[in-house]
């Protein structure tokens, strides 16, 4: 029996992997929990919802997603509170964004009851996998991909929707050094930059590899027309604190509408800190650094949470940023977010869901 409001079959694993996990050494993204939720789309509807042991998939070599990239995903987290409860953070926003990505990529949307019901049952079943150490969480990866075994280019008629999870620690082992990219692009107006689709990440790997060879951890993408304006980073939106204001690029169809980003913007408004969501030129940031006006720069994201940026590289020069002060906005918002995620701070915004 499950609490889901749709037919959901649950097959439990015969052998849990939990005992083999070193919770003091989680890293990010390599450890998966015992089960996964799966639903199939066929004949115009989602069906066959099930929770099964986490494991390999069997796919035709002609599977459409493997050739033409009709594949989208989300990233979200569940946290353990001090009382032992489980909290999901802004899960409905992830559901909404997944459906926006689906529309852009010609894929079916997922009904709320399947997304939320499948997610809730899965996390309840694997709740022992949620870490409780500071900065750790259960990372949740919902994704959908085209499954037609057909190699003509057309939208698939069949899809799989899967959610799996895994305990994670911080995404970055140390504050990232980022390079402002002025040759390659992540997205252009009218493209798919606003969708959380697989190809956006594939296309970013080569420029990111070149930057890593130069000693950077991530790129900051700039606009495709002039490379003059800051867009976002590899797996984060970017934010700057200067002149007592929080300044961040506005979201357009070239950038991901980050849930952590809008959360931080809402907190800044609540704290009475002026927020500017606007075009930000690279020149403005470099000038602010040179003149000592940039208090801090940080990335925001589900995996990255709030990641202080240590240095910004631009046209061969590395600009070291000031160390983050305890009472800075960046540090305070990072701490406050951590407290909301884990139920230590009262959730006055209604962002968390106890499951
Ligand atoms: N931008 C990109 C390209 C990302 O991959 C992510 C991560 O999800 C973000 C921004 C931050 O989005 P969110 O805060 O919703 O995780
Ligand atoms: C997330 O923050 O959840 C992301 O999707 C980033 C991911 C590419 C690691």
9 has pLDDT over 50 = yes
The predicted model gives 90-118 an average pLDDT of 98
What is the structure's pLDDT at 6? 85
3 has pLDDT over 80 = no
Q: Is residue 46 part of a domain?
A: yes
Indicate whether 194 and 320 sit together in one domain. yes
* Interacting residues of 84 by C-beta distance below 8 A, sequence separation 6+: none
- Starting from the CA of residue 143, give the closest ligand: 2
Indicate whether 209 and 232 sit together in one domain. yes
The predicted model gives 287-298 an average pLDDT of 95
Q: Is residue 351 part of a domain?
A: no
The span from the CA of 31 to the CA of 23, in Å, is 10
Q: Total domain count for the chain?
A: 2
Residue at which a domain ends, from 170, 201, 221: 170
The span from the CA of 166 to the CA of 237, in Å, is 23
Q: Is residue 354 part of a domain?
A: no
Give the count of beta carbons closer than 10 Å to the beta carbon of residue 181: 25
Residue nearest atom 10 of ligand 1, based on CA coordinates: 236
Indicate whether 166 and 185 sit together in one domain. no
Tell which atom from ligand 2 comes closest to the C-alpha of 302.
Answer: 2
Among the residue ranges 16-25, 57-66, 279-288, 320-329, the one predicted with the least confidence is 320-329
Task: Kindly report the CATH number assigned to the domain that includes residue 224.
Answer: 3.20.10.10
264 Cβ inside 6 Å of ligand 1: no
Q: Read off the pLDDT band of 45 (50, 70, 90).
A: very high
232 Cβ inside 6 Å of ligand 1: yes
Structural domain for 253, as ranges: 177-341
- Ligand 2 midpoint to CA 177 (Å): 18
Indicate whether 104 and 186 sit together in one domain. no
b/e burial code for range 312-349 (CB count within 10 A of at least 16 → b): bbbeeeebebeebeeebbbbbbbebbbebbbbeeeeee
What is the structure's pLDDT at 2? 53
The predicted model gives 306-320 an average pLDDT of 96
Indicate whether 149 and 233 sit together in one domain. no
Indicate whether 158 and 277 sit together in one domain. no
- Starting from the CA of residue 200, give the closest ligand: 1
Q: What is the DSSP string of 33-51?
A: -SEEEEEEEETTEEEEEEE
The predicted model gives 63-83 an average pLDDT of 97
Q: What angle do CA 349, 353, 354 make, to 5 degrees?
A: 130
Tell which atom from ligand 1 comes closest to the C-alpha of 261.
Answer: 14
Question: Rounded to a whole number, what is the distance in angstroms from the first to the last CA of the chain?
Answer: 16
Indicate whether 160 and 195 sit together in one domain. no
- Starting from the CA of residue 97, give the closest ligand: 1
The span from the CA of 80 to the CA of 16, in Å, is 20
Q: pLDDT tens for residues 203-250?
A: 999 999 999 999 999 999 999 999 999 999 989 999 999 999 999 999
- Helix ranges (DSSP H) in the chain: 64-68, 91-104, 112-125, 198-213, 259-270, 282-290, 329-341
Tell which atom from ligand 2 comes closest to the C-alpha of 74.
Answer: 5
The span from the CA of 84 to the CA of 96, in Å, is 28
Tell which atom from ligand 2 comes closest to the C-alpha of 73.
Answer: 5
What is the structure's pLDDT at 5? 78
259 Cβ inside 6 Å of ligand 1: yes
The span from the CA of 355 to the CA of 96, in Å, is 19
User: Mean pLDDT for the chain?
Assistant: 96
Ligand 1 mutation pick, 231, 259, 260, max ligand atoms within 8 A of CB: 260
Indicate whether 204 and 139 sit together in one domain. no
Q: Is residue 349 part of a domain?
A: no
Ligand 1 mutation pick, 256, 306, 337, 341, max ligand atoms within 8 A of CB: 256
Tell me which residue has tokens 């970013």.
Answer: 204
Q: Is residue 22 part of a domain?
A: yes
Indicate whether 214 and 321 sit together in one domain. yes
65 has pLDDT over 50 = yes
What is the structure's pLDDT at 170? 86
Residue at which a domain ends, from 141, 170, 199: 170
Q: Read off the pLDDT band of 1 (50, 70, 90).
A: very low
Q: Is residue 353 part of a domain?
A: no
The predicted model gives 246-269 an average pLDDT of 97
What is the structure's pLDDT at 104? 98
The predicted model gives 170-175 an average pLDDT of 87
Task: Kindly report the CATH number assigned to the domain that includes residue 12.
Answer: 3.30.470.10
Q: Is residue 43 part of a domain?
A: yes
What is the structure's pLDDT at 290? 95
- Ligand 2 midpoint to CA 176 (Å): 15
The interface predicted TM-score of the complex, written ipTM, equals 0.98
Q: Is residue 348 part of a domain?
A: no
Indicate whether 258 and 319 sit together in one domain. yes
pTM above 0.90, yes or no: yes
Indicate whether 156 and 181 sit together in one domain. no
Indicate whether 164 and 196 sit together in one domain. no
The CA distances from residue 271 to 246, 249, 251, 267, in Å, are 11, 20, 22, 6
The predicted model gives 322-328 an average pLDDT of 88
What is the structure's pLDDT at 173? 83
Residue at which a domain ends, from 126, 143, 170: 170
């Amino acid at each position: 029996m499950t609490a889901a409001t749709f037919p959901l079959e649950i097959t439990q694993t015969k052998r849990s992997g939990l005992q083999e996990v070193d919770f003091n050494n989680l890293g990010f993204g390599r450890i998966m929990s015992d089960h996964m939720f799966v639903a199939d789309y066929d004949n115009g509807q989602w069906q066959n919802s099930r929770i099964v042991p986490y494991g390999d998939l069997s796919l035709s070599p002609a599977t459409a997603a493997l050739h033409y990239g009709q594949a989208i995903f989300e990233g979200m987290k569940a946290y353990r509170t001090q009382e032992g409860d489980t909290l999901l953070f802004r899960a409905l926003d992830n559901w909404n964004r997944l459906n926006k990505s689906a529309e852009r990529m010609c894929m079916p949307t997922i009904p709320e009851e399947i997304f939320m019901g499948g997610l809730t049952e899965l996390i309840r079943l694997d709740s022992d996998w949620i870490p409780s150490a500071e900065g750790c969480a259960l990372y949740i990866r919902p994704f959908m991909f085209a499954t037609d075994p057909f190699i003509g280019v057309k939208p698939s008629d069949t899809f799989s929707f899967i959610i799996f999870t895994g305990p994670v620690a911080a995404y970055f082992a140390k504050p990232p050094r980022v390079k402002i990219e002025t040759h390659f692009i992540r997205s252009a107006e009218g493209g798919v930059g606003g969708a959380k689709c697989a190809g956006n990440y594939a296309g970013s790997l080569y420029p990111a590899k070149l930057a890593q060879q130069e000693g950077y951890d991530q790129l900051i993408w700039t606009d495709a027309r002039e490379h003059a304006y800051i867009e976002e980073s590899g797996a984060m939106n970017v934010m700057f604190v200067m002149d007592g204001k929080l300044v961040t690029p506005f979201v357009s169809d070239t950038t991901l509408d980050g849930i952590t980003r809008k959360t931080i913007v809402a907190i800044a408004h609540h704290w009475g800190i002026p927020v500017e969501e606007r075009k930000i030129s690279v020149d403005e940031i470099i000038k602010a650094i040179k003149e000592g006006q940039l208090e801090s720069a940080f990335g925001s994201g589900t995996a990255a949470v709030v990641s202080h940026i240590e240095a910004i590289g631009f046209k061969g020069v590395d600009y070291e940023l000031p160390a983050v002060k305890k009472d800075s906005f960046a540090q305070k918002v990072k701490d406050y977010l951590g407290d909301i995620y884990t139920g230590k701070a009262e959730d006055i915004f209604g962002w968390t869901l106890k499951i």
